[in-house]
Structure 1
Amino acid sequence: MATNVPMVATVSPNAGGKAGLLEFEAIVRKLSNAGLSLSVTPEVDAALNAYDEISVSLRLPGQSRLYTLACLVRHRSPLDDMVIYGCEYDWTATMDPLGVVEDLLEYVLDEPRG
């Protein structure tokens, strides 16, 4: 089940070299056990548009741990003055995937529905 959460994330290309050092701010629009939706500015989209694999770092509300998730960008859609990214988690490229998925699933299942 997806949740609506006002959460800020840091996004970077999941790539080697200088590209992997780039970091951009994004807003988490929706979060689920399978993927997430991000809102980025057109400038961020221009920088990330060449990358279908990204890393998303975020803190779940009420948690102190920083989670870094490898994601596959499945679609990019303009909406008003932003660009919406639909991303699927890439568990094979995520560090400590079992710990992340356990905490993420607990958060998604416990999040109140509006």
Structure 2
Amino acid sequence: MTRTLAALPGAARRLCLSRRNGEICTREDGHRGLHHRTGGRLLWSDLQADPPECAAAGTPAEAAPLLDDGFPGGRSVCPVCWAFVDRDGDGLIEPHDSWRGDESRGEADRRREWFNAYGW
């Protein structure tokens, strides 16, 4: 199953966000044939794609610093997929799907603001 980035106003095209070995497909959503990175040096089929679940679940993480409006609301930045994710009561990253794009333009704007303020 190919996962896609939400349709964002002003976006020129929607990308296929299938992953293999952590690399994200750079073809357009709904493409035929193999997934690949730009340049075609890494090719894969849906059967060879990474599972949607991120491998970082269960690792220790600190809550990310907050923007003035409270974003990201106590979540941590996943060190593997760069998603903002919840932590359990012991401060461990909860199971989550790998980050595959923001759900909305607003989330994308807040995410960009956070990374501009605090870096990678």
Q: Tell me if TM exceeds 0.5.
A: no
Larger of the two Rg values belongs to structure: 2
Structure number having the greater helix percentage:
1
Give the TM-score of the pair, scaled to structure 2. Answer: 0.27
Structure number having the greater strand percentage:
1
